[in-house]
Amino acid sequence: MAHIEPFRGVRPRKDIAHLVAAPPYDVLTSEEAREMAAGNPYSFLHVGKPEIDLPPGTDLYANAVYAKGKENFERFLSEGTIVPDKTRNFYVYKQVWGDHVQVGLVAAASCQDYLDDIIKKHELTRVDKENDRMRHIETLGSQTGPVFLTYRRTDAVDALVAEAMGRAPEVDITTPDGVRHILFVVDDAGLVGRIRDAFAALPALYVADGHHRSAAATRIKVKRDRERPGRTGREEDNFFLTVIFPHSQMKILPYNRVVRDLNGLDAAAFLSKVGEMFAVRPDAPKSPARSREFSMFLDGRWYGLEARPGSYDAADPIASLDVSILQKSILAPILGIVDPRTDKRIDFVGGIRGTGELEKKVRSGSFAVAFSLYPTTIDQLFTVADAGKIMPPKSTWFEPKLKDGLVVHMIDE
């Protein structure tokens, strides 16, 4: 039973929503965020990445960064850039990216469900990143970036979400990346109750993107339960900000890899070793056509790699992932990258940047080889999460990204 709740969202004024909406804190570098927010005092990057208002080179985890985020957030509130709703609502968030459309419910999801594994995870988190999100949430008293959840779609939920879009939207903007963002307010008490009940019939929700944000929110709930006796479980900090999409609308792009060197090998020796585990063909397409195939850019040329039968366990939900096959057969044994989470010789490139970015990185001389992967599927994510297992790092890249600043959940009302 998935427990979600409506909440009093804090939202930008309609006339400046297009100026407020900003990318998530973790998809831009500080330099990229500073450039994007230049000349725009309304950009939510001033809240999500407040280091842009401090001297370049400021430690991202310095006290001054969190204090600046709070200062900017409170300024947004006092100046009316963002305004709290008067009622506890759900919201419907529709995104249109070319011919792809996805429609999710903005809600407060239960931290207890996270602890009880009703909200299922598929990635490991890093304590330092959890600590960062905890400090940001507690300093601001708000969750400013939504967690991207998914679920196995049902006709009942589809019908209710469609009903909620039967009125005029509150926000309808197109951002510079070409994505249209449309927000509907669901403030009818009867419809709110029916939506809550429909989600209560779902056996599970799944974290698609936002493992650190959901983990941090849950740690705050647990800490406050311990420090504040007599809590009811209804306090706002028992829930975290989410947008929940049906699995049938998920668009997953590949999470590609680039490696700085060939671990002491020349290109010919490297290709020979790769050929022991893969069928190799030259002059291949830049993107693989199916799972268990890879495209590799080396010495100015694209190669196609096909994993040989028996080189991986097809029955194992982790070992059969393309990212696992690449790690086990090339990255670890040939290139010496045992832990891709910490090894500085490997970098990851989201599929949204395209294969041209892989070529650019290798041609620059900063990297020696690039791998273009077939995207992980939503069914693979469900299988791994249902088995209680963890995917390798950087296994999924979801697009389009949710914008920060369109709806904020305050935990210290």
Residue 389 inside a domain? The answer is: no
Residue 54 inside a domain? The answer is: yes
Q: How far apart are CA 73 and CA 247, in angstroms?
A: 33
Number of domains in the chain: 2
Q: Residue 285 belongs to a domain with what CATH number? A: 3.30.1760
Structure tokens at 373: 């992967």
Q: Are 171 and 308 in the same domain?
A: no
Q: Are 200 and 299 in the same domain?
A: no
76 Cβ contact list (under 8 Å, min separation 6): 42, 46, 47, 82
CA dihedral 52, 58, 64, 68 (to 10 degrees): 0
Residue 382 inside a domain? The answer is: no
Q: Are 224 and 149 in the same domain?
A: yes
* One-letter amino acid for residue 262 of the chain: L
Residue 360 inside a domain? The answer is: yes
Q: Are 62 and 88 in the same domain?
A: yes
Q: How far apart are CA 410 and CA 50, in angstroms?
A: 18
Q: Are 238 and 260 in the same domain?
A: no
Q: Are 275 and 339 in the same domain?
A: yes
Q: Are 210 and 80 in the same domain?
A: yes
Whether omega for the bond prior to residue 176 falls within 30 degrees of 0, making it cis, is no
Query: Is residue 295 a contact partner of residue 289, using CB atoms and an 8 Å limit?
Result: no
Q: How far apart are CA 131 and CA 139, in angstroms?
A: 12
Strand bridging mode 293-298 / 147-151: unpaired
Residue 50 inside a domain? The answer is: yes
Q: Are 242 and 310 in the same domain?
A: no
Q: Angle at CA 158, nearest 5°, toward 375 and 121?
A: 45
Query: Which H or E run contains 191?
Result: helix 189-200
Q: Are 211 and 320 in the same domain?
A: no
Query: Is residue 2 a contact partner of residue 112, using CB atoms and an 8 Å limit?
Result: no
Q: Are 224 and 116 in the same domain?
A: yes
Q: Which pTM does this prediction carry?
A: 0.92
- The length of the chain is 413
Q: How far apart are CA 284 and CA 296, in angstroms?
A: 9
Q: Are 290 and 404 in the same domain?
A: no
Q: Are 313 and 228 in the same domain?
A: no
Centre a 10 Å sphere on the Cβ of residue 15 and count the other Cβ atoms it contains: 7
* pLDDT by residue, tens only, the chain of 413 residues: 899 999 999 999 999 999 999 999 998 999 999 999 999 999 999 999 999 999 999 999 999 999 999 999 999 999 999 999 999 999 999 999 999 999 999 999 999 999 999 999 998 888 999 999 999 999 999 999 999 999 999 999 999 999 999 999 999 999 999 999 999 999 999 999 999 999 999 999 999 999 999 999 999 999 999 999 999 999 999 999 999 999 999 999 999 999 999 999 999 999 999 999 999 999 999 999 999 999 999 999 999 999 998 899 999 999 999 999 999 999 999 999 999 988 999 999 998 889 999 999 999 999 999 999 999 999 999 999 999 999 988 899 999 999 999 999 999 97
Residue 93 inside a domain? The answer is: yes
For 201, the domain range is 4-251+399-410
Residue 381 inside a domain? The answer is: no
Residue 390 inside a domain? The answer is: no
